Amino acid sequence: MAGKRTVLTVRLRRLAAMLHEMRETAQLSKEEVSAKTGINVTTLYRIETAQARPQRRTLMAMLDLYGIGNTQREDALALLADALKPGMARAYEGSVTEVYAAYINFEAEARSARHYQTSTIPGLLQTYEYTTAVISTSMPALEASVMESRAKARMDRAANLSKEKPLELWVVMDEAAIRRTVGGPSVMRGQLERLLKETERKNVIVQIMPFDAGAHPGMSGPFTLLDFPDPADPELVYVEGIAGDELIEGRAEIRRFGVIFDQLRAMALSPRDSAAMIYDAAGRLG
């Protein structure tokens, strides 16, 4: 059931990486750990890949076997305690996918987000009216309560841009995102006016990829690169798609998406020229 899912958080991901490293340092296979502790191999795999939170006694058994000293032991127990706390997505877990719920949790603790979008305005910059117009096109059709919950989740995420240490957002979006009239002229004009206002923030950069730029490396679909303030939390990529969303890790993949984003922002209009294009698009709806 949705309420019993283990939704990924920054702390759970860090704890999983720590336990994997501890086992590797102890030079023990999962099978050996299972034989010595009685912990199922499948459970060990799920713990080390952050698909499950270990119970305290399970964690203690692992730390004892790995010969972990007091300092690291306290760090691991503290991470477990933090991992038990609900993330920002808790209120929406019943109405969004597990991957998207995890993304919401990660985004709330990220330092920066580099986002490429193809045909819609990025969620963090959407108005409520635009959001509901987009969500209403979901297939199969969603219940009204689920639509409302998803729209609220998107609105609440926007708080990341104005908190004490705000998320640094760099967006490149295809020109189609500002030309497609979503929800009717009035809704779309309000959305474009909101977009212009958001570009006034010091922590938000918006660039438009014009149609006349031709082919570019982002044509395969939208993605977001998240970077975190703690070095213990490596970057990750969130990829959106009709077949499902995905969180991607691994240095090679992160580097590939980073290069793609660098190419996109180099090909896109400057922030000043992008704002001028958005202003023009809003004027045409007026």
Identify the pLDDT of residue 262: 97
pLDDT, tens digit, for every residue of 63-78? 999 999 999 999 999 9
Identify the pLDDT of residue 145: 86
Backbone angles phi, psi at 30, to 5 degrees: -60, -35
Residue scoring higher pLDDT (172 or 4): 172
Q: Which amino acid is at 186?
A: S
Q: Is the pLDDT of residue 1 over 70?
A: no
pLDDT, tens digit, for every residue of 217-231? 999 899 999 999 998
Identify the pLDDT of residue 139: 64
Two tokens at 206?
């918006």
Q: Which of 38-47, 59-68, 91-100, 177-186 has the lowest mean pLDDT?
A: 91-100
d(CA 150, CA 123): 11
Identify the pLDDT of residue 8: 83
pLDDT, tens digit, for every residue of 42-61? 999 999 988 888 999 999 99
Q: Is the pLDDT of residue 192 over 80?
A: yes
Q: Which of 31-45, 84-98, 198-212 has the lowest mean pLDDT?
A: 84-98
**Would you state the CATH architecture of domain 89-285?**
2-Layer Sandwich (3.30)
Identify the pLDDT of residue 84: 77
Identify the pLDDT of residue 243: 76
d(CA 23, CA 45): 12
Would you report the helix, strand and coil content of the chain in percent, each value rounded to 5? Answer: 55, 10, 35
Question: With bands split at pLDDT 50, 70 and 90, how would you rate the model's confidence at 4?
Answer: low
Identify the pLDDT of residue 36: 94
Identify the pLDDT of residue 82: 85
Q: Which amino acid is at 12?
A: L
Residue scoring higher pLDDT (85 or 33): 33
Across the chain, mean pLDDT equals 91
Return the CATH number of the domain spanning residue range 2-83: 1.10.260.40
Question: With bands split at pLDDT 50, 70 and 90, how would you rate the model's confidence at 2?
Answer: very low
Identify the pLDDT of residue 3: 41
Q: Is the pLDDT of residue 164 over 50?
A: yes
DSSP of 27-53, one letter per residue?
T--HHHHHHHH---HHHHHHHHTTSSP
The predicted model scores a pTM of 0.86
- The domain segmentation of the chain, as residue ranges, is 2-83, 89-285
Identify the pLDDT of residue 5: 60
Could you tell me which residues come within 8 angstroms of residue 262 by beta carbon, excluding any fewer than 6 positions away?
none
pLDDT, tens digit, for every residue of 241-275? 877 789 998 889 999 999 999 999 999 999 999 99
